[in-house]
Amino acid sequence: MKTLKTMVAVAVGALALTLNGAPGAEFGFSQAAAQDSVRKEVGTPLTEASKLVKAGKYKEALGKLRDAEAVGGRTAGETNAIEGVRFSAAMGANDPDTMARSFDVLKGAGKLGQAQQLQYMEAIAGTYLRNRDNGKALTWAQRYFKEGGNSPTMKQVQQNAQFLSGDMTSTIKDTLDEIAADERAGRAPPKDKLNLLLFAAQKKGDGNAESVATEKLLNFYPDPKLWAQILGGLPQKKSFDSSRYALDLYRLRLVTGNMSRGAEDYMEMAQLAAQAGYPEEGKQVVDKGMAAGVLGQGAEGARHKRLADLMVKKIGEAKAAAAANEKAAADAKDGNEFVKLGLANAFGGNAKKGIEQIEQGIAKGDLKRPEDAKLYLGLAHQLAGESAKAQAAWKSVKGNEGAADLARLWVIQSRSAKR
């Protein structure tokens, strides 16, 4: 993920690119001279200043302009010519205060059309931002939009200035509005924009905005490292029951390539699955670890083989007890056992039966954890290859104990997996 420093540099760099056709060294001099006569004693140092700007010697150019300015009895045209070159020299010298003063003179003289005024204001705002004078960058960006500007680059400059000025509320609001506009237009919001929202939300402590940012980043720009960040942060949420959803977190870590502790993760997940009544899932986890070369190797290889054998034993025991377990589920007053049996069957390769059983459990009602049941119904549909139905089930999950957080992440993962 880009740092804020990088994001600001990108914004300012993009602004610089838009200014390739902006006021050059000759703007104030040649155009004003064509309209108003410029005396030789003013024109000579002004020409020299223009050449210095072209050569990249901006501070020297500003000094040479003082020679032109020192000529007495200057006309309005001569003043305008001086200020035009001064603006360009000040822009090169990263002196936005001088740029602003020159702009005000030129605008006051009526020498700039509307489009030119906006272009000058872009340069001023961008230079203030480059100099980390965030308050003034924000002021000029706001002035730019107030006077009719609509540059996307300037919107990015404004948002970065808001963030760096500490105005997280405005940053979040404006960025959310832009993201919504992008999506309405069928565009993926730029990654930098989503990162800015994430940073601002984290700095303000706005959990809702942070959730929007992370989910959209995962949706539009899926990346294992970002998944690791999101999944690692989920247990830190006060509302998230880490012990209850330990296996569910592992399921997402497995499919997003985030079994970062290697053999330890695979073994722990397999054991949790078997303990929860899903030995088929546990065996699949061990097999994946073996296939990846994480399990079955080195000094611990024999231990890993024993774990695989244990999973096979557990699967046999579950199959032997299947009929009795189904009868117990049917006789029960609630649907909890049907939900558990259904997910076990889905992992065991009979997803159709698993879906029917989970639905039967939900219909029977009196569930201890009804939102978990909908979460697992989504998993069963996903295992059956029914992504649309899986997403519909996940989108129906409510509450704040963790099931809804997991369901939203499954929706995103399911979408990205289809790309």
User: 140-166 pLDDT, tens per residue?
Assistant: 999 999 999 988 888 888 888 888 888
Residue 196 pLDDT level (bands cut at 50, 70, 90): confident
pLDDT of residue 10: 40
pLDDT of residue 34: 39
pLDDT of residue 18: 38
Which of helix, strand or coil describes residue 175? helix
How many CB atoms neighbour CB 268 within 10 A? 16
Residues 154 and 18 grouped into a single domain = yes
- Tokens 């200020």: give the residue: 83
How confident is the model over 328-359, as pLDDT tens digits? Answer: 999 999 999 999 999 999 999 999 999 999 99
How many CB atoms neighbour CB 416 within 10 A? 16
pLDDT of residue 7: 41
- DSSP string of 276-311? TT-HHHHHHHHHHHHHTTSSS-GGGHHHHHHHHHHH
pLDDT of residue 254: 96
- Write out the residue range of the structural domain in which residue 314 sits: 259-320
Query: Does 77 reside within a domain?
Result: yes
Last residue of a domain, one of 320, 337, 369: 320
Quote the CA–CA distance of 46 and 67 in Å, as a whole number: 8
DSSP assignment letter at 119: H
What CATH number is associated with residue 72?
1.25.40
pLDDT of residue 19: 38
Query: Does 236 reside within a domain?
Result: no
Last residue of a domain, one of 320, 349, 368: 320
Residues 23 and 119 grouped into a single domain = yes
Q: How far apart are the first and last CA of the chain?
A: 21
- DSSP string of 64-104? HHHHHHTSSS--HHHHHHHHHHHHHHHHHTT-HHHHHHHHH
Q: Which whole-number Å values give the CA distances from 248 to 153, 259, 379, in the listed order? A: 42, 13, 10
pLDDT of residue 389: 96
Q: Which whole-number Å values give the CA distances from 309 to 251, 270, 282, 288, 312, in the listed order? A: 21, 12, 11, 15, 5
pLDDT above 70: residue 88:
yes
Last residue of a domain, one of 165, 184, 212: 165
Residues 273 and 198 grouped into a single domain = no
pLDDT of residue 418: 63
pLDDT of residue 21: 36
Query: Does 141 reside within a domain?
Result: yes
Query: Does 233 reside within a domain?
Result: no
DSSP H helical segments within 221-256, as ranges? Answer: 224-233, 246-255
pLDDT above 80: residue 33:
no
Q: What is the mean pLDDT of residues 233-261?
A: 90
Based on its alpha-carbon atoms, the radius of gyration of the chain, rounded to whole angstroms, reads 32
Residues 312 and 416 grouped into a single domain = no
Q: What is the mean pLDDT of residues 211-220?
A: 86
pLDDT above 60: residue 394:
yes
Across the chain, how many H-helices and E-strands are there?
Answer: 23, 0
- Tokens 């045209």: give the residue: 77
Residues 104 and 199 grouped into a single domain = no
Residue 283 in contact with residue 315, Cβ under 8 Å?
yes
Query: Does 16 reside within a domain?
Result: yes
Q: What is the mean pLDDT of residues 87-98?
A: 93
Query: Does 193 reside within a domain?
Result: yes
Quote the CA–CA distance of 22 and 143 in Å, as a whole number: 18
Residues 314 and 354 grouped into a single domain = no
Residues 118 and 34 grouped into a single domain = yes
Residues 10 and 154 grouped into a single domain = yes
Residues 193 and 278 grouped into a single domain = no
How many residues in total does the chain contain?
Answer: 419
Residues 308 and 391 grouped into a single domain = no
Q: What is the mean pLDDT of residues 196-211?
A: 84
Residues 200 and 150 grouped into a single domain = no
Average pLDDT, the chain: 87
Query: Does 244 reside within a domain?
Result: no
pLDDT of residue 153: 85
Q: What is the mean pLDDT of residues 251-271?
A: 94
pLDDT of residue 36: 55
Q: What is the mean pLDDT of residues 27-49?
A: 68
Q: What is the mean pLDDT of residues 25-35?
A: 40
Query: Does 83 reside within a domain?
Result: yes
DSSP H helical segments within 332-386, as ranges? Answer: 336-347, 351-364, 370-383
pLDDT above 50: residue 30:
no
Residues 327 and 394 grouped into a single domain = yes
For the chain, how many structural domains are there in total?
4
How confident is the model over 300-337, as pLDDT tens digits? Answer: 999 999 999 999 999 999 999 999 999 999 999 999 99
pLDDT of residue 241: 87
Residue 394 in contact with residue 408, Cβ under 8 Å?
yes
Residue 111 pLDDT level (bands cut at 50, 70, 90): confident
Q: Which of 328, 350, 267 is nearest to 303 (CA)?
A: 267
